[in-house]
């Protein structure tokens, strides 16, 4: 009798879904739209309907399903309760219980999307071979997930791994999206480095490779390309990015002494140079007993969430 | 048949030892001297001999012993290997295996002393009732231990919970004992606040309650007493202490989202005022999702280590 697991990564725009076999090998993946109207009331029923369609298509009966894992964009407690997902319109409820009710599948595991993606990378991606990793996602914001001995560290309010909001600069006067000031996310997200580059292009006279682009079109790729070519303005951007991130990760290491950092998100697509600059600043800041950690690029891209969701069930 | 567990807290001067029943209730405790000569070669044999004496005294046979737990002053891996204890003269070896061999007790668990004390406080002290705590010890240095779901977070090199070496001040030019600069320990240990008070007394003219003492006799007690009485010089000392500690604990929370902080060590003997000033600065620095953590005073004092050592075995 074949056993199947569904892995679901619920995002603000689309829901990524995957059907896996009992050993965690992917069989097929697809996406549906995230319907946010009516305070997100359609989201879980849409997911349940899509699972039923897939069951019919693949001739899978309810008893053949070992479980369903789902990552959601907000804090989730260890027992699967969502503590508000602002951008889905959700309040507090048990997403695990509700999805179980809608699908008839008893075992449903829910986790925060960043934590679930971290678990996916530890299991089958850049963190393969390590028991304990910290995943850092450098995208619109800076996300994080802490995996300890193969398990997600959830935290008592589902807010463990919120490394984007480490206060790395107590002198900052601009406000972060979270309401705080001096958060890591203000310096080391993709958004932050693009903003920093634009500011330097607009407010300085310094000659730069970046001046050939419209300022709105300067992304991480242009910045890291210019940095590799020795461009001074790009170097300022990359150095600030790395200084705060290296400092922040030194804090993370002092708390959990992880085996490896796995760097993902849009900025990580610039490859080894990103690892090199972060590691350089990490080593400058961290205490001797924590030096020499492994730094790896994430490997699963947008699939990390569905892999991690499946791993939660296994 | 009665079951017994030995809990041992190995320090640089004395070894604290406790005999507990199988439910973790203390029967008796005593101390022996830590003989550091010959690179610490006598330490474990002395402990084993003291256990045998106690067995004879209490009429306990080897089969009645469930296990032995021991906390040692240095990094210890999850499998009980010590990675150098500089102040005992020890190199790298398995303290768990060696103590097992010397005593004939199969189950020996070893951990870092700060982590083991944290486990003791979580189990029977200030952290009772919480599954996950972070213990902060404010003494000669600043020690830490992270307990997650009732277990010690050891870290891959036994260096998790090294919160005394969080780099909270990147602008520092004085060097910490660890070789780094700007470590939390440089501002928030008992040593640091005494040094800061002496510096202010010696280098300023400001009127202060603290001037009635010889500078060498100004300890945490005098500083906190003066602070409570509104003394301005003492306020500067306490504010710097709390600012860096509150910032450092905000980092800790962002990584593991613990339920409670338990504050121990000499400085904590000044009571609720210590909690109040730390919590105030913590709340200023931490992101919204992590506000409102519990802060508790440690309760077990010097016995935390033997309790935690026993808990590792249970």
CA distance A159 to chain B (A): 6
- In whole angstroms, what is the distance from residue A133 CA to residue B172 CA? 30
Cβ pair B291, B99 in contact under 8 A: no
The partner residues of A263 in beta bridges, in order of sequence, read A136, A297
- Supply the pLDDT for residue A270: 96
Other CB atoms within a 10 A radius of the CB of residue B205 amount to: 5
- In whole angstroms, what is the distance from residue A311 CA to residue A49 CA? 22
* List of chain B residues whose C-beta atoms are within 8 Å of the C-beta of residue A256: 146, 153, 155, 160, 255-256
- What are the b/e assignments for B52-76, b being 16+ CB within 10 Å? eebbeeeebeeeebbbbbbbbbbbb
Mean pLDDT of A276-297: 96
Res. B210: pLDDT tops 70? yes
Going by the DSSP 8-state scheme, the letter that residue B79 receives in this structure is T
Contact criterion met (CB < 8 Å) for A255 and B161: yes
Q: What are phi and psi of A64, to 5 degrees?
A: -80, -5
Cβ pair B99, B68 in contact under 8 A: yes
Mean pLDDT of B159-170: 95
Please, how many CA atoms are within 13 Å of residue A218, restricted to the half-sphere of its CB? Answer: 27
Tens-place pLDDT, residues B22-53? 999 999 999 999 999 999 999 999 999 999 99
Please name the member of B131, B178, B287 whose beta carbon is closest to the beta carbon of A288.
B178
- In whole angstroms, what is the distance from residue B226 CA to residue A172 CA? 32
CA distance A39 to chain B (A): 22
- Supply the pLDDT for residue A237: 97
- In whole angstroms, what is the distance from residue B246 CA to residue B223 CA? 18
Assigned token pair, B248: 């450092």
Query: Percent of chain B scored above 70 by pLDDT?
Result: 99
CA B74 vs. chain centroid, Å, equals 12
What is the helix, strand, coil percentage profile of chain B, to 5? 45, 25, 30
* List of chain A residues whose C-beta atoms are within 8 Å of the C-beta of residue B285: 167, 170, 180
Of B100, B201, B118, residue with least CA distance to B161: B118
Contact criterion met (CB < 8 Å) for B256 and A167: no
Q: What are phi and psi of B72, to 5 degrees?
A: -125, 150
Tens-place pLDDT, residues A257-277? 999 999 999 999 999 999 999
- Supply the pLDDT for residue B83: 79
Tens-place pLDDT, residues A91-101? 888 999 999 99
Please name the member of A165, A180, A289 whose beta carbon is closest to the beta carbon of B159.
A289
Band of residue A1 on the pLDDT scale cut at 50, 70, 90: very low
Q: Give the 3-state secondary structure of chain A.
A: CCCEEEEEEECCCEEEEEEEECCCCEEEEEEEECCCHHHHCCHHHHHHHHHHHHHHHHCCCHHHEEEEEEEECCCECCCCEEEEEHHHCEEEEEHHHHHHHHHCCCCEEEEEHHHHHHHHHHHHCCCCCCCCEEEEEECCCEEEEEEECCEECCCCCCCCCCHHHCECCCCCCCECCCCCECECHHHHCHHHHHHHHHHHHHHCCCCCHHHHCCHHHCCHHHHHHHHHCCCHHHHHHHHHHHHHHHHHHHHHHHHHCCCEEEEECHHHHHCHHHHHHHHHHHHHHCCHHHCCCEEEECCCHHHHHHHHHHHHHC
- In whole angstroms, what is the distance from residue A280 CA to residue A273 CA? 11
- Supply the pLDDT for residue A12: 86
Band of residue B2 on the pLDDT scale cut at 50, 70, 90: low
- Supply the pLDDT for residue B12: 86
Contact criterion met (CB < 8 Å) for B257 and A154: yes
Residue B294 three-state SS:
strand
Residue with tokens 């204890």: B85
CA A280 vs. chain centroid, Å, equals 23
Res. A135: pLDDT tops 70? yes
To the nearest 10 degrees (0 to 180), the angle between helices A220-228 and A272-285 is 80
Residue with tokens 């010397």: B102
- Supply the pLDDT for residue B46: 97
Assigned token pair, A219: 């992304």
* List of chain A residues whose C-beta atoms are within 8 Å of the C-beta of residue B74: none
- Supply the pLDDT for residue A91: 86
**CB within 8 Å of B168: residues ≥ 6 apart:** B182, B183, B184, B187, B244, B247, B248, B251
Contact criterion met (CB < 8 Å) for A155 and B258: yes
Tens-place pLDDT, residues A172-213? 999 998 899 999 999 999 999 999 999 999 999 999 999 999
CA distance B96 to chain A (A): 21
Helix (H) or strand (E) run with residue B58 in it: helix B43-58
* List of chain B residues whose C-beta atoms are within 8 Å of the C-beta of residue A148: 148, 153
The partner residues of B194 in beta bridges, in order of sequence, read none
- In whole angstroms, what is the distance from residue B241 CA to residue B282 CA? 12
Name the E strands within chain B: 4-10, 14-21, 26-33, 65-72, 81-85, 90-94, 108-112, 133-138, 142-148, 151-152, 260-264, 294-297
- In whole angstroms, what is the distance from residue B74 CA to residue B57 CA? 32
Band of residue B1 on the pLDDT scale cut at 50, 70, 90: very low
- Supply the pLDDT for residue A2: 54
Contact criterion met (CB < 8 Å) for A75 and B251: no
Of A247, A160, A146, residue with least CA distance to B293: A160
- Supply the pLDDT for residue B270: 96
List the single range of A79-88, A143-152, B104-113, B173-182 with lowest mean pLDDT: A79-88
- In whole angstroms, what is the distance from residue A140 CA to residue A137 CA? 9
* List of chain A residues whose C-beta atoms are within 8 Å of the C-beta of residue B146: 255-256
């Amino acid at each position: 009798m074949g056993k199947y697991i569904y892995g679901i990564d619920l995002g603000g725009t689309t829901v990524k879904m995957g059907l896996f076999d009992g050993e965690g090998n992917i069989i097929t993946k697809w996406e549906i739209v995230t319907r946010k109207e009516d305070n997100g009331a359609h989201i879980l029923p849409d997911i349940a309907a899509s699972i039923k369609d897939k069951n019919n298509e693949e001739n899978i009966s309810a008893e053949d399903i070992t479980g369903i894992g789902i990552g959601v964009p907000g804090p989730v407690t260890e027992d699967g309760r969502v503590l508000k997902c602002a951008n889905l319109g959700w309040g507090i409820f048990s997403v695990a219980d509700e999805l179980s009710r809608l699908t008839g599948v008893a075992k449903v595991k829910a986790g925060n999307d960043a934590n679930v993606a971290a678990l996916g990378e530890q299991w089958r991606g850049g963190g393969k071979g390590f028991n304990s990793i910290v995943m850092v996602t450098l995208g619109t914001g800076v996300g994080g997930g802490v995996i300890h001995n193969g398990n997600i560290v959830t935290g008592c309010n589902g807010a463990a791994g919120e490394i984007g909001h480490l206060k790395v600069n107590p002198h900052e006067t601009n406000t972060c999206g979270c309401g705080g000031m001096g958060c890591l996310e203000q310096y080391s997200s993709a958004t932050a480095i693009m903003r920093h580059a634009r500011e330097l292009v607009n407010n300085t006279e310094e000659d730069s490779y970046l001046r050939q682009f419209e300022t709105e079109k300067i992304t991480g790729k242009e910045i890291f390309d210019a940095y590799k070519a020795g461009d001074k303005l790009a170097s300022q951007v990359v150095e600030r990015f790395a200084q705060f991130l290296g400092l922040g990760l030194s804090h993370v290491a002092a708390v959990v002494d992880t085996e490896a950092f796995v760097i993902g998100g849009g900025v990580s697509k610039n490859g080894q140079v990103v690892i090199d600059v972060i590691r350089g600043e990490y080593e400058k800041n961290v205490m001797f007993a924590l030096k020499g950690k492994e730094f790896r690029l994430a490997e699963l891209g947008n699939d990390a969430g569905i892999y991690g969701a499946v791993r939660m069930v296994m």
